[in-house]
A and B are shown apart, each in its own frame.
Chain A
Amino acid sequence: MSETRTISYRDAVREAIRDAMARDPRVFLMGEDVGKYGGCYAVSKGLLDEFGEERIRDTPLSEAAFAGAGIGAALNGMRPIVEIMTVNFSLLALDQIVNNAATIPHMSGGQFAIPLVIRMATGGGRQVAAQHSHSLEGWYAHVPGLKVLAPATIEDARGMLWTALEDPNPVVIFEHVMLYNMEGPLAADAGAVDITKAALRRPGTDVSLITYGGSLPKTLAAAERLAGQGVSAEVVDLRCLRPLDTETIVASVAKTHRAVIVDEGWKTGSLAAEISARLMENAFYELDAPVSRVCSAEVPIPYPKHLEDAALPSVDAICRAVTAMVAVR
């Protein structure tokens, strides 16, 4: 084991951008307030001074235009990183991402690839109400032609970007807003990581807790609490939301025979629904209980703290779901 240092998720993302910019002159960062302001979440703070205005490119509030420009630039030889402030704003760029980025390689019969990375913040928990708090990554994960990542650890925040930039496909990376301040150890020589496999974050035998992104810390906390109650919960971090690593999910459930999916998206038509369906298709005869889901309440995320807390998946809700499934005797 090499030496480690303590670093925040935010700083890890920044290091990843800096590293990519240094490695490849085709890489540039483009988005609203990424330069002078330093990034809405201060991810790109300091990079403008380091790399200049050409490569740390502030854009007007034109999500469609700069997302599309990222696609065009990728088609024309660059390796752009497009930052969209939040997934809610990305809906203004949905046409470009879904109708162009995801289709052109296929529509052109494989003549072109779009090596583009789009980063965006997602998720609730900061009392910024219903137009800044949603988790729509499941929508993107629905679309063939895109790859969708959700780094939930410091290591993945540091390592996923470069792998995504090396990928010939458009990759959308979702950074949960509540993770930016998370601090943790990172190997001094940390670098690119795989972006195809889910990761086992905690082994267990009684139930598989399948989650990703901002729900991972909550899920790990729930697993710890459950351990005190004699329930051994396994935690699977999806990491890659499209394509889903069905193999790892199924292997875990084949071991524990029970699954609770924790997904900050709404339940209806969600990633959690997709995972549940895959378990039916691939692990039906392994299941010892119906699959259970802990998702956001089916409401636009409200502003008051107590209501927002009630709307989002919580450690309590996860424990309740598991207890209902495991502890009925």
Chain B
Amino acid sequence: MPSLGADMEAGTLVEWLKRPGDAVRRGDIVAVVETQKGAIEIEVFEDGVLDRLLVEPGMKVPVGTPLALIVKPGEVPAAAPAAPQPTLSPAPVAPSPAAPEPEPIQAAGPRLKISPAAAARAASLGVDPRRLRGTGAGGAITLRDVDAAPAPAPAAPPTVAAPVSAAQAMRSAIAAAMVKSKREIPHYYLATTIDMAKAAAWLDEANRARPVTERLLMGVLLLKAVAGALKEMPEFNGYWMDGAFTPGPGIHVGWAISLRTGGLVTPAIHDVETKSIDDTMAALRDLVKRARSGGLRSSELTDGTMTVTSLGDQGAEAVHGIIYPPQVALVGFGKLVQRPWAVDGKVVVRPVIQATLAADHRASDGHRGGLFLTAIERRLQEPQSL
């Protein structure tokens, strides 16, 4: 029974494709074996004649057990070993076929120097430790390194030291997450344009009285408005896992931050709906600053319960985002623009913003999505209550 993978301990012979007396050539498929990973064809690596079958179909035998005897041309058949014994006979079938699983990237290299605790945490977070640089004694990868590592999904504070590989790693992580999202999540999209005159006026007024360190940005009003709407309609806050919706443990809003060195991260601000607007602003400022300097923790990068992406004043007017799995919703804001706007039957110029919702149709429907955008809009008309 050939070892078809490091974790294979035994296999069940399903059928023989050759009979005793048949000539076999290197590369021939002689049997089918059922393993814990499914049925696998068994090839031989010798030329000769199949002399005797040692294992009957239906028998489960450990790896290493001879399945059959092959007699090479001109060779006299040796006495068969008592079947099935895990001993080597003159010419056991298929001693070591190519492993069906792809080999780990560094399989042949030196053993990775990583602390046991760091290895365990990396495994639980899905972080590939071979991509990390160790800062522990002797260059060992420690818990700190794992915590500071790019999360497996779109994430990673790039370091100046290794921009190329980090950026590549992030790119591939983003690619994996986005492909998974587009493949698995049935997105639906809604959009609405929101009059931001009241919010802008309130913001100007508020900031005029504030020292520079306490000033607010429009982004924080948007964030608070979304958090309030999420509290009202919790079906947009949480995860789709194992075929069902699980509400998030809190309203932890992921904030998409585009990195100038490439890629983006979506670190979460925890419990936004219970934070004051000033605290939310402080958290957001801190988060952006740390995203720029590479100080984000991997846990921040993975525990958002929904995501907001705001393109800001340099961006486009609307964004139709891709949900970050296993979340179920993403709200996008375009840039603030001055547009003609009908008020009381007259056209006036107003600052407006386009809000879009990308939502998982498995978790919610379009009608509810519309109400959700409306809830955001309503909140932005009462900025003093945010």
Contacts and interface: CB of A to CB of B under 8 A. Distances in A.
Interface string B119-140: 1100000000000000111001
A290 B138 CA distance: 11
A77 B357 CA distance: 84
B116 A328 contact: no
Given A286-B117, A287-B115, A257 B143 contact: yes
A127 to B, nearest CB: 35
Contacts of A328: 135-137
Interface string A275-300: 00000000011111110000000000
Given A325-B137, A328-B136, A329-B135, A285 B142 contact: no
Contacts of B91: none
A328 B140 CA distance: 10
A107 interface: no
Contacts of A324: 137
A278 B135 CA distance: 26
A285 B117 contact: yes
Contact of B118 (A288, A325, A329): A288
B119 A285 contact: yes
Contacts of A287: 115-117
Contacts of B135: 328-329
Chain B: interface residue count, which band?
Answer: 10 to 19
A234 to B, nearest CB: 16
Nearest to B139: A328
B117 A257 contact: yes
B137 A288 contact: no
Nearest to A254: B117
B116 to A, nearest CB: 5
Contacts of B119: 285
Nearest to A257: B117
Interface residues of A, number: 12
Contacts of B117: 257, 285-288
A289 B120 contact: no
Contacts of B143: 257, 288
A278 to B, nearest CB: 15
Interface string A213-231: 0000000000000000000
Nearest to A292: B137
A276 B120 CA distance: 20
Contact of A286 (B116, B137, B140): B116
A285 B137 contact: no
Contacts of A289: 115, 136-137, 140, 142
Contacts of A284: 116
B136 A285 contact: no
Nearest to B114: A288
Interface string B358-376: 0000000000000000000
A286 B135 CA distance: 18
Nearest to B141: A288
A288 B140 CA distance: 9
B246 to A, nearest CB: 27
Nearest to B142: A288
A319 B142 CA distance: 20
Interface in B297-350: none
A288 B135 CA distance: 11
A287 B118 CA distance: 8
Interface in A292-329: 324-325, 328-329
Contacts of B115: 257, 287-289
A216 B115 CA distance: 28
Contacts of B118: 288
Contacts of A257: 115, 117, 143
Nearest to A253: B117
A285 B117 CA distance: 5
Interface string A8-33: 00000000000000000000000000
B129 to A, nearest CB: 13
Please indicate which of the listed interface residues A287, A288, A329 has the most CB atoms of chain B within 10 Å of its own CB.
A288
A290 B114 CA distance: 10
24 contacts: A257-B117, A257-B143, A284-B116, A285-B116, A285-B117, A285-B119, A286-B116, A286-B120, A287-B116, A287-B117, A288-B117, A288-B136, A288-B142, A289-B115, A289-B136, A289-B137, A289-B140, A289-B142, A290-B137, A324-B137, A325-B137, A328-B135, A328-B136, A329-B135
Given A288-B116, A289-B115, A290-B137, 12 more contacts: A257-B143, A285-B117, A286-B116, A287-B117, A288-B117, A288-B118, A288-B136, A289-B136, A289-B142, A324-B137, A328-B136, A329-B135
Interface of A: 257, 284-290, 324-325, 328-329
